Amino acid sequence: MKYKLFLNLEVDGREAEVLEENDENKKTEEDFEGGFALVAALAKWVKAITQYSTSAQFLEDTKHSEIMFREDFDGKLVLLKRERVQRSISAFRLQLLEQDLVDADKRVRWAERRIDGGEKHLLVANLLNIVTPSGHSILSWACACGNTEIVDYLIDHGAYPGFGDDYNHLCAKTIQVSGLLS
C-alpha cells in the first residue's frame, strides 16, 4: 500500500508524505475505504502504544527518582537522629561540667575559709609562742600558775609545748619563787 491512503494521518508530529503512483497501480480512495479505516485504527493503536511506552518510561523514571529521594531522605533521617543523640550527649556532658564547676567553686570557697582560719590560727600561734627575754612564753606562765584549763586552751590554739616537762616545771618554780619574793 502506498501512503496515499494516509493523507491526513500524523506520524511523529508531521503529515505523511504522499507518494506518486504509477498509472497502472493507481487506485482511488474509494477502493481502499474499508482498508483505510483499518489502517487508521492501526496507526492510532501504534500511536497509543508509543505514548503508553513513553508514559511507562516516564513513570518508571519517576518511581526510580522517588526511590532515590526516599533513600536519600532515610539516610539524612538517620544522620539527623545521630546528630540529635550527639547533641543530647553533649548537653549532658555540659551539665556535668557545669555541676563540676559549681562543686569546684564550693571547694575553693571552703579552702579559702580554711586558709583564712589557718592564717588567723597561725597569727595566734605566733603570738602565743613569743618568748620574753627571760625565756618564758604565755604557756610557761600558764604552767607556772598551775591552771590546766588555760594550758589546754593555749595548746589547742597553737601554743608550742615543745619545751619538755622539766623545762616547764623549772619555769613554773622560777615564776612562783619570783612571785613570793616580790
Q: Mind listing the pLDDT tens digit for each residue in 127-164?
A: 777 777 776 777 777 887 888 888 888 888 777 776 65
Q: Give residue 138's pLDDT.
A: 79
pTM across the whole model: 0.37
Which comes out higher in pLDDT, residue 75 or 4?
A: 75
DSSP 20: P
C-alpha span between 84 and 95 (Å, rounded): 16
> What is the mean predicted confidence (pLDDT) over 13-31?
47
The answer, yes or no, to whether residue 90 has pLDDT greater than 70, is yes
> What is the mean predicted confidence (pLDDT) over 75-91?
95
**Cell of residue 26, nine digits:** 493507481
Which helix (H) or strand (E) segment holds residue 152: the answer is: helix 148-156
Lowest mean pLDDT among 8-17, 67-76, 93-102, 118-127: 8-17
C-alpha span between 54 and 46 (Å, rounded): 12
**Cell of residue 127, nine digits:** 603570738
Single-letter residue type at 182? S
The answer, yes or no, to whether residue 24 has pLDDT greater than 50, is no
The answer, yes or no, to whether residue 99 has pLDDT greater than 70, is yes
The residues near 168 (Cβ < 8 Å, ≥ 6 apart) are: 139, 140, 143, 161
Cα dihedral 42, 48, 52, 58 sign: positive
Report for 2-11, 21-30, 131-140: range of highest mean pLDDT: 131-140
Which comes out higher in pLDDT, residue 129 or 90?
A: 90
Q: Give residue 17's pLDDT.
A: 46
Percentage of the chain exceeding pLDDT 90? 24
Q: Give residue 45's pLDDT.
A: 87
C-alpha span between 9 and 38 (Å, rounded): 13
